[in-house]
Amino acid sequence: MALPVHRLYTRVGRSFLIEHRGVLTLVDTGTQKDPPRIRRASERLGKTPGDVRQILLTHSHGDHSGGGKAMRELCEAPVFAGAADVDAIAGREPYVMAPAAWGRVLYSNRLKDYPRFEVDHAFDERTEVDGGLEMIPVPGHTPGHMAVWAPDLQALFVGDSVWNLSGIRPSWKAFTWNWDLNRESVRQLTDLPSESLWFGHGLTVERDGRSRLRRLVR
């Protein structure tokens, strides 16, 4: 049976529409150029921007938060993010860059220049939001990185804490603020009885997600 989750392909990765306990949620917003693409994809699914009740950002990088300001205006829905990332999203703190030189160049030139804005709600601990979804702190890729857990679906949206590019792995060191902390965060995600894993970058794992994560960090 197909899950009530819809992948929306953005310029660099993926955003997701999740229907959970009667609430439609958008997870991540692509780059600043992606809101029209997200709107068109949503409408092909029979959803309008007004159907979206909330927008959850996994982290501050521009391929996930770049369209946040425009999508909030389009959907007239509140935006949620991890507390340690909100100053970067608002432009009050420097953009969180990866330590490797070529990663810094990529992020500096492609992904940090997006419209800054204030998120509506910030969390620094595991928090249930509307519709029963849970935002879970998984710092490492960025200081305030969050995963999203849909308990009724046993579906885990890992943002960029884990990628599925040429295999499942923690996000590459060149693009990760603190790789060791990120790996420990992934280890903590193995406590969840996840069946499917949904990645910002890479193909979805539809079965046995928890075991796949456990093999990754053992």
Q: Encode pLDDT of 63-75 as tens digits.
A: 999 999 999 999 9
Helix/strand/coil for 83: helix
Structure tokens at 136: 């879970």
- 35-49, 98-112, 165-179: which has the highest mean pLDDT? 35-49
Q: How many CB atoms lie under 10 A from the CB of residue 111?
A: 21
Asked whether the beta carbons of 89 and 116 are under 8 A apart, the reply is: yes
pTM for the whole thing?
A: 0.94
| Beta strand spans in 45-172 (E) | 52-56, 79-82, 121-123, 127-128, 134-137, 146-150, 155-159, 162-164, 168-170
User: What is the predicted pLDDT for the residue at 155?
Assistant: 97
pLDDT over threshold 70, residue 189: yes
Tell me if residue 24 falls in helix, strand or coil.
strand
Domain boundaries, the chain: 5-217
Q: Using CA atoms of 34, 40, 46, 47 in order, give the dihedral in degrees to the nearest 10.
A: 40
Report how many helices (DSSP H) and strands (DSSP E) the chain contains, helices first: 7, 13
Q: What is the pLDDT of residues 6-21, one digit of tens each?
A: 999 998 899 999 999 9
Distances, alpha carbon 112 to alpha carbons 25, 47, 87, 109, in Å: 24, 29, 13, 7
Closest CA to 16 of 62, 1, 34, 118: 34
Answer yes or no: is pLDDT of 102 > 70: no
Considering only residues 134 and 166, tell me which one the structure prediction assigns the higher pLDDT. Answer: 134
Place of tokens 């993010």: 81
pLDDT attached to residue 109: 54
Element (H, E) at 213: helix 209-217
Residue 188 has a CB neighbour count (10 Å cut-off) of 15
Mean pLDDT of 54-58: 98
CATH dotted code for 5-217: 3.60.15.10
Reported as a pLDDT band with limits 50, 70 and 90, residue 175 is: confident
Q: Is the pLDDT of residue 163 over 60?
A: yes
Cα–Cα distance measured from residue 13 to residue 151, given in angstroms and rounded to the nearest whole number: 24
pLDDT digits (tens, 9 = 90+) for 142-161: 999 999 999 999 999 999 99
